[in-house]
Structure 1
Amino acid sequence: MSQTDTSNAGTSGPLTTQRKGLAALELDMRLIGMIAALLVIWIAFAAFTDGRFLTPRNIFNLTIQTVSVAIMATGMVFVIVTRHIDLSVGSVLGVCSAAMAMLQTQYLPEIFGLGSPFIWIFTVIAGVIVGTAIGAFHGWMIGYLTIPAFIVTLGGLLVWRNVAWHMTDGQTVGPLDPTFAIFGGINGTLGETWSWIVGAVLTAGALIMLVQSRRTKAAHGFPVKPRWAEISLGAIFTVSILGFILIINSYQIPGPRLARQFAARGEVMPEGLEMGYGIPISALLLIVIAIVMTVIARRTRLGRYIFATGGNPDAAELSGIDTRMLTVKVFAIMGALCAISAVVASARLTNHTNDIGTLDELRVIAAAVIGGTALSGGLGTIYGAILGALIMQSLQSGMAMVGVDAPYQNIIVGAVLVLAVWVDIIYRRRAGL
């Protein structure tokens, strides 16, 4: 009988792991490594910019700059896990953006009238339908016609970029509907009060998940962490979430802009009033998508099929999984997420441009791979992809603030991508994954 068995012999309570120190937390060491790398990047750029990199204003900007790529990266996890690749995401984003821009500037105002709330609603719905249809079409060619994903999506990269150009005659289309623009970042935020409410809800949700996970393990007789370890994890989640809210709320709305907001409502701004922007609506959208994608990955049959197929496609097919239809579903999800990213990207610019989404396919793939998604398939996490997107954007934003020229930025980002994959290979070999 092992030490753990002996210590729990004759008891009816749950088994408690006997690990000591940090090992008792059972943390994902790869995740810890990515967080450490992110902190090193932040501290280094803060030193080179005299602290400007870590100001509330720059953290706010970094957040809204990360959202578009991070949303698509969550879908790229499913694509790569199933041993495929999607090189067309930037072009699909572009064609969805073009379709939505044309709808809300030329067609829907004639139907509903300028300023109608139906404009942005129908625009978003139409964009998601377009993105989902394109993704499903890609998946059908890959799954049923057995054309390699690399070829299908490489063709899509060329086709959809030029379809978008044709739809707009290569012109910038805008300005977009003011309500639609709230999804872009600074034009749409929750404000301080609602940001604290969202923070409290997220914190409560994280703590409830910890408690439920412990109860589920105990109910099935699996070992559980020591209580101090669970409390420590809860404290880490709480400090991280509420600390982020505090930083975001610290970015104050400039006085003239705040005065204009009061004037637009027919009110006079109280003298000396200060208000923070709060969480961008685009960031809240990313949080919702991250939660939904995580639930799909971990709690649904579709998620289990995705990871089972990625781990061993032949075994998955022999076990009764319709891998061809699964491929269609995965690429349809990817297309829908491209459309949502198009909403965020075009709303942030307040117009559609011909080069929107250019090179996003490389940024999205890099974010997923840096976040720990194995190119060999079967392994990947949603939170890892989002963290990978944040690392990528932190590098680019920091280098821009320091004054590094764009060509050198791309060289460094490319080198970091190769280094991340090499480190991941070493880690998986040592971990026996």
Structure 2
Amino acid sequence: MTDTSSDKSASSGRGGASRSLFSQLELDLRLLGMIGAFLLICVLFNILTGGQFLTPRNLFNLTIQTVSVAIMATGMVFIIVTRHIDLAVGSLLATCSAIMAMTQTSWAIDLLGIPLGSPALAWVAIVVGIAAGAIIGAFQGWLVGYLTIPAFIVTLGGLLVWRNVAWYLTSGQTIGPLNETFQLFGGINGTLGATWSWIAGLVASVAAVLALVSARRAKKRHDFPVKPMWAEFAVGAIFVVAIMGFIAILNSYQIPERVLERQFAAEGLEVPAGYTASYGLPISVLLLIAVAVVMTVVARKTRFGRYVFATGGNPDAAELSGINTRLLTVKVFALMGALVAIAALVASSRLTFHSNDIGTLDELRVIAAAVIGGTALAGGIGTIYGAILGALIMQSLQSGMAMVGVDAPLQNIVVGSVLVAAVLIDIIYRRRVGG
């Protein structure tokens, strides 16, 4: 079978019509376009900010600021793929944040007797928050799936309802500071440090290479064409360089001396002369990577994922084939709710407190990230990695404009324009490729 696939690859390159470099590498041109757009944004803002945009410090901050929207964007892919929409994610994030904040500062202490400041408080709050998000999401899915209320109306109502539920849960007050263990998921308050970051990078690099090897073997096993070996090595090298380069950038952001002094003083010590330390990989980014891997596996390798994309491609045919599309809708919205709660964990822990305006306009950012990432509003098409890259592009635009001094109204004008342009480009692209 190996010889057959190799012959196919060789024969496709004969007769002066040899396969292009991109076709041999089997790279997604749309993905390359998004990466190119991201790099262009970075270079442009780096010039406009006098070299400040591409500093390790700013790239570190850009990364942790992207996480909460990116996590929700992975769930929004499933929502849009099934031809629905969720306008309530920003408000639901506020409710989940309020529930987790109240659980660790009041409810769990009163009901369970857990001491204030105990790490157990954080874990109880996280479990309660994710459960609440999943239940609320499932309820919205039930209204859409079983009562056949359009998702636009259900979630538009949720946008108003859950924002104000959060207000009542906290009596309109800011709740904080949050538990120290809880704050580890916020970014700068929870990082791996240089050594463990390098280890994590090596593990991720090995996993990426093994995934490529596994995919190649699966293609051979089913007698599908495979890439030339040089192309496999090239793609593997790209992955490894990207991963280790990302770790190198994060490790080059050093902890300020005054912060080190506070950390050592808390233990009754002094900072040794010449001592330096790096922040390294944030735990929140590890959480995003875990979510991305799980959601990708769910989308590609599970019956649930296949049902999601089949329903989005043709709902009538999916129902006739025996798929319970109503229950599927409930599951998709429940999954979205759970992911919103995880995003609330990241967002509130990054702030170190819960505030009433947390998650404001996140619904627009999440939808924009999914659409920019290639999720078709007509349903049936979307990728998890595309949504995450879309979230990174959105955050880069906003961060860059803020650093340049663009005021908030103009920032929103630019983001709205980019969203419309992304949809237009998507329409033109799919017409050209026949999608």
Is contact 2:176–2:353 with CA below 8 Å preserved after alignment? yes
Aligned-pair RMSD on alpha carbons? 1.3
**Residue aligning to 2:42:** 42
SS in structure 1 at match of 2:53: helix
**Residue aligning to 2:116:** 114
Is contact 2:5–2:225 with CA below 8 Å preserved after alignment? no
Give the deviation of 1:315 after TM superposition. 0.5
**Residue aligning to 1:362:** 364
C-alpha spacing 1:268/1:88, structure 2 compared with 1 (3 Å): same
C-alpha spacing 1:57/1:16, structure 2 compared with 1 (3 Å): farther
1:298 maps onto 2:300 in alignment: yes
Is contact 1:41–1:394 with CA below 8 Å preserved after alignment? yes
Deviates more, 1:168-177 or 1:380-389: 168-177
Give the deviation of 1:266 after TM superposition. 4.1
**Residue aligning to 1:275:** 277
Distance 1:42 1:199 in 2: 23
Is contact 1:136–1:328 with CA below 8 Å preserved after alignment? yes
1:261 maps onto 2:263 in alignment: yes
- Equivalences for residues 185-200 of structure 1 within 5 A: 185-200=187-202
Give the deviation of 1:14 after TM superposition. 5.2
Distance 1:12 1:32 in 2: 30
Give the deviation of 1:12 after TM superposition. 5.9
Distance 2:289 2:40 in 1: 24
User: Once superposed, which parts of structure 1, at least 4 consecutive aligned residues long, lie more than 6 Å away?
Assistant: none
1:79 maps onto 2:75 in alignment: no
Give the deviation of 1:413 after TM superposition. 0.6
Give the deviation of 1:271 after TM superposition. 1.2
Give the deviation of 1:15 after TM superposition. 4.9
**Residue aligning to 1:351:** 353
Using the size of structure 1 for normalisation, the TM-score is 0.96
Give the deviation of 1:29 after TM superposition. 0.5
**Residue aligning to 1:391:** 393
1:90 maps onto 2:90 in alignment: yes
Give the deviation of 1:83 after TM superposition. 0.2
Distance 1:194 1:59 in 2: 19
Give the deviation of 1:261 after TM superposition. 1.8
Q: Residues 108-155 of structure 1, C-alpha deviation per residue, up to 9 Å, x if partnerless?
A: 234111221110000000000100000000001100111100010011
**Residue aligning to 1:23:** 23
Q: For structure 1, which runs of at least 5 residues remain unmatched after alignment?
A: 1-7
SS in structure 2 at match of 1:407: helix
Distance 1:366 1:306 in 2: 20
Distance 1:214 1:417 in 2: 36
Distance 1:201 1:229 in 2: 22
- Equivalences for residues 92-241 of structure 1 within 5 A: 92-110=92-110, 111-241=113-243
C-alpha spacing 1:23/1:312, structure 2 compared with 1 (3 Å): same
Is contact 1:311–1:377 with CA below 8 Å preserved after alignment? yes
Q: For structure 2, which runs of at least 5 residues remain unmatched after alignment?
A: 13-18
Is contact 2:79–2:86 with CA below 8 Å preserved after alignment? yes
Give the deviation of 1:264 after TM superposition. 2.6
- Equivalences for residues 293-332 of structure 1 within 5 A: 293-332=295-334
Q: Residues 47-81 of structure 1, C-alpha deviation per residue, up to 9 Å, x if partnerless?
A: 00111000000000000110010000000000000
Give the deviation of 1:260 after TM superposition. 2.0
**Residue aligning to 2:16:** none
Distance 1:426 1:292 in 2: 31
SS in structure 2 at match of 1:412: helix
C-alpha spacing 1:11/1:369, structure 2 compared with 1 (3 Å): closer
Q: Which amino acid aligns with 1:238?
A: V
Q: Residues 257-310 of structure 1, C-alpha deviation per residue, up to 9 Å, x if partnerless?
A: 112222334443321111110011111100100000000000101000000000
Distance 1:15 1:275 in 2: 53
Q: Which amino acid aligns with 1:87?
A: L
Give the deviation of 1:11 after TM superposition. 4.5
Q: Which amino acid aligns with 2:370?
A: A
Using the size of structure 2 for normalisation, the TM-score is 0.96
Distance 1:382 1:89 in 2: 17
SS in structure 2 at match of 1:51: coil
SS in structure 2 at match of 1:174: coil
Q: Which amino acid aligns with 1:117?
A: P
Q: Which amino acid aligns with 2:386?
A: G
The alignment of Structure 1 onto Structure 2 pairs a total of residues equal to: 425
Distance 2:215 2:106 in 1: 51
Percent sequence identity is 68
SS in structure 2 at match of 1:224: coil
Is contact 1:174–1:351 with CA below 8 Å preserved after alignment? yes
Is contact 2:313–2:380 with CA below 8 Å preserved after alignment? yes
Is contact 2:5–2:226 with CA below 8 Å preserved after alignment? no
Distance 2:248 2:394 in 1: 24
Is contact 1:15–1:222 with CA below 8 Å preserved after alignment? no
